Amino acid sequence: MVRVAVIGGSGYTGGELLRLLLVHDKVEITMVTSREYAGKPISLVHPNLRGYLNLNFSQFSLDKLGDKADTVFLSLPHGVSLNYVPKILEMGMQVVDLSADFRLKDPSVYKIWYGIEHPYTDLLEKAVYGLPELHYDDLRRAKLIASPGCNATATILALAPVAYNKLASQMRFISDVKVSSSEGGAKPTEGSHHPERQNAIRPYDAEGHRHEAEAEQELSRLAGSPVKVSIVPHAVSSVRGALSSSHIWLDQPLDDMDVWRKTAEFYRGRKFIRIVRGGIHPYPDPKYVLGSNFADIGFAQERRISRLTMFSAIDNLMKGAAGQAVQSFNISNGFAEDTGLKSPPLRPV
């Protein structure tokens, strides 16, 4: 049994990690922290977990952590993980960090997007970007896993086969993402107030979304040359699920079967990728992956004007956050990739 601690356990990603780890048969949860709720029962904040665990939230401290955990999941705001990761690693524990702090390889790019000098550039190098479909081998025995952002995950998974196969000569993409409200986290804001958020179709962060940095890093690596990605997110009414519609202007129309084959080949053997094409539900829809770690990938081409759209549908709290973190954790600990992640998506919901 791997003893795990969840640092920052009161948010939605923390709650989703608990939901998964509680029934993960290689794992024992030994510590769950929350600054705000320390001392209070976990089920007070996560009423779905009533009856599952008697643990209270505790205050975070490196001392206590030391003898309690083998792996530490950090579900903290960006800029906060930075301060703990080096010490936790020194103490010999594995870190799965769900913040953006260790996702970018190039410190100068980090500075551009996050506005500060990264204090641990050596760790940027050592960290493995926790997208198992691209970094499976690096993840075996990784000590520091930087788990990707949700919009980045959706965008990269949609575009990876295109970038890798260089399906267009101009490598610039627009990822028009539709996201559900849980992506914004558990903290109420004016914009998340139900009467304002429900029935909204609301663009936001439309002039330089930070996940573009991750997406460009990963897709450029696959293409072997610089790729430009523009992510334009839109808040829609659902609570869970995200769809990326990644639009590409082609040089000329492609053979649909060829696009399908290259996509399928790229993802061959990847347990959490399902290629969707045809049938009653011809395109991916996050509705059909809810509660699971799947990314459904598909595409549509308008041959008349050489437009290709790659779609990817994920559950933003699963493949877009906690599920993917557990998947990477599994690989790095030598467990089957889908340990604790086998439940089919819930439908309809």
Interface residues for its own copies in 42-81 (CB under 8 A)?
44-52
Q: Which of 241, 328, 331, 332 binds its own copies (CB under 8 A)?
A: 241
| Nearest-angstrom CA–CA distance, 247 and 155 | 10
By CB under 8 A, is residue 304 in contact with its own copies? yes
Closer residue to its own copies, CB minimum distance, 101 or 183: 183
| Nearest-angstrom CA–CA distance, 207 and 126 | 31
User: Catalytic site residue 174?
Assistant: no
Instruction: Report DSSP state, residue 161.
Output: H
Q: Is 52 exposed, middle or buried (0-12, 13-18, 19+ CB in 10 A)?
A: middle
Q: Which of 309, 312, 328, 339 binds its own copies (CB under 8 A)?
A: 309
Q: Which of 57, 120, 311, 335 binds its own copies (CB under 8 A)?
A: 311
Q: Which stretch binds its own copies (CB under 8 A): 26-34, 78-86, 115-123, 286-294?
A: 286-294
Query: What residues are designated binding site for NADP(+)?
Result: 10-13, 316
Q: Which stretch binds its own copies (CB under 8 A): 60-68, 84-92, 121-129, 274-282?
A: 274-282
Binding to its own copies in span 5-24, by CB under 8 A: 12, 15, 19, 22-23
Contact 69, 92 (CB under 8 A): no
By CB under 8 A, is residue 283 in contact with its own copies? yes
| Nearest-angstrom CA–CA distance, 314 and 327 | 14
177's enclosing H/E stretch is: strand 172-179
Closest listed residue to residue 79, CA positions, set 119, 42, 109: 119
Q: Which of 28, 117, 196, 255 binds its own copies (CB under 8 A)?
A: 196
Instruction: Report DSSP state, residue 58.
Output: B
Map residues 313-332 to x or -, x wherever contact with its own copies holds by CB under 8 A: x-------------------
Closer residue to its own copies, CB minimum distance, 63 or 207: 207
By CB under 8 A, is residue 232 in contact with its own copies? yes
By CB under 8 A, is residue 178 in contact with its own copies? yes
| Nearest-angstrom CA–CA distance, 97 and 332 | 14
Give the C-alpha distances (Å, rounded to integers) separating 161 from 56, 128, 154, 223, 265. Answer: 45, 21, 13, 9, 9
Contact 33, 26 (CB under 8 A): no
Binding to its own copies in span 330-349, by CB under 8 A: 342-349
Minimum distance, C-beta of residue 267 to its own copies, in the bound complex (Å): 12
Active site residues: 150
